Amino acid sequence: MNNLIAQMPPMLYGKELDEALTVLPPYDPDIIHADAATRLVALSNIYRVFLSNSMAREIYSKLHLGLLRSLSKKESPLMPRQYVENQKAIQMVESSGIIGGADSFTIIGPSGIGKSTSISRSIQLLSKTPVIVTEKPYRQIIPCVMVQCPFDSSVKGLLLEILRTVDGKLGSDYCAKAIHARNTTVDTLIGSVSSVCINHVGLLVIDEIQHIVGQKAGGALARYLMQLLNSSGISVAMVGTPSVIPFMSGGEFQLARRTLGLYYEPMEYGQAFRDLCTTLWRYQYVKHRAELDEPMMHRLFDFCQGNPSVLVGLLHDVQECSILSGREDISSDLLHAAYQTRLRMLHQHITPARKPSTSRVKQTVSIPKAEPVEVPEQVSIAAIVKDAKKGAQDIVSCLKRQIPVEEVPV
């Protein structure tokens, strides 16, 4: 174990971690004096900006600890026995999981809040050594392998994608052998993938896991993932949107237990959002620089509703429109125009908060309570109304002839 763990990069924390996660592309303030074409090309740098936050720090810690547990299990005395069981599965002989899953968890949150970017930055930090090599026994281990869940929840498609990604890192041919093998079934394929993961994979990240929702093969894919987890001993992180929560939590207890993890929502209007706005605001490519004040930050939050991806896209598009139109500034009306034209497809998902209504409320007139009126026992109001309807007479006039009636204007 010491040989494997020693090759892992040290775990970062605090300010050191924030500096490692943050990405700030270079910016020259004199760019505003360049021609429009040069500034439009440089404007795309705003998409590269990434500011570390609590979500990114938590995701990094979760992935680092998951990788640590996975590498620890690779030194378990049970690992050779599990490898033999996986070979039985390849040969279509009854087999079982011995080593059990090292760890599995989910990272759930709406699209655009920065999950994938946080994961990508974390994997870069964890993969300072692209391939960990051990001598006794000789092994090549990829710290993190990231794949995407097939849109049709194909079990075979996901397993082949794992092999294809490993081949791309190691130069091996596991995927080609699996495709051309005779009598290849999902059961035999999962034995092959489990063996490959035992030997070569530290942490497996499966993105877009929400694709299993609404698919006939979704349940089968989830069950095979649990089998892969138990047969390989690696850590598996499943990343997706909140639409997958009912599927994960509403199934079997085993699936719900294996999919506990992290959940995130769009940013609230607070210091973290202000810091992001301040950082992005520095990347101005219009000729007339605009100042960022509290009302403007409120306006930005109103249009993006705390979604960082939408905020970045809005600040890019408002500058692009301003440069192309010759306005060369950033103003509230240009932000509104960019939201209405460039972000039209998002209107049903992100709606700016409505201003309070300024219409005058009509005055109401209180009606005093009327004194109770004694109705003679021999008088039936229902009978009077019935007789008035039969004779086509005014009901109020008929009532007045029998009992006191007071009319009140409405």
Closest by CA to 296, choosing from 283, 277, 312, is 277
pLDDT at 408: 63
Q: Give me the long-range contacts of 130-136 (CB less than 8 A, separation at least 24).
A: 130/169, 131/169, 131/170, 132/4, 132/7, 132/8, 132/202, 134/3, 134/4, 135/3
pLDDT at 356: 39
- The β-bridge relationship of strands 132-134 and 139-148 is antiparallel
Reading the chain (410 residues) residue by residue, the pLDDT tens digits are 447 787 888 999 999 999 999 999 999 999 999 999 999 999 999 999 999 999 999 999 999 999 998 888 877 655 555 555 555 555 554 444 445 554 789 999 999 999 999 999 999 999 988 998 888 778 899 999 999 999 988 999 999 999 999 999 999 999 999 888 777 788 888 888 988 998 899 999 999 999 998 888 888 888 888 888 888 888 899 999 999 988 888 777 777 777 788 999 999 999 999 999 999 999 999 999 999 999 999 999 999 999 999 999 999 999 999 999 999 999 999 999 999 999 988 888 876 654 433 444 445 555 555 555 555 556 677 777 777 777 767 777 777 777 777 766 65
Closest by CA to 163, choosing from 135, 183, 134, 184, is 184
Closest by CA to 66, choosing from 20, 106, 36, is 106
User: What Å distances lie between residue 210 and 107, 196, 376, CA to CA?
Assistant: 11, 25, 74
The DSSP code sequence of 344-380 is: GGGTTT--PPPPPP-PPPPP--PPPPPPP-PPPTT--
Longest dimension (CA), the chain: 113
Single-letter residue type at 308:
P
Residue spans per domain, the chain: 15-52+267-354, 54-263
Which 8-state DSSP code applies to residue 266? P
Domain 54-263 has CATH 2.40.33.10: no
pLDDT at 125: 95
Alpha-carbon span 30 to 137, nearest angstrom: 57
Alpha-carbon span 157 to 97, nearest angstrom: 22
pLDDT at 395: 75
Closest by CA to 40, choosing from 31, 53, 48, 49, is 31
Single-letter residue type at 252:
E
Q: Is the pTM of this model over 0.85?
A: no
Extended strands (E) in 149-208: 201-207
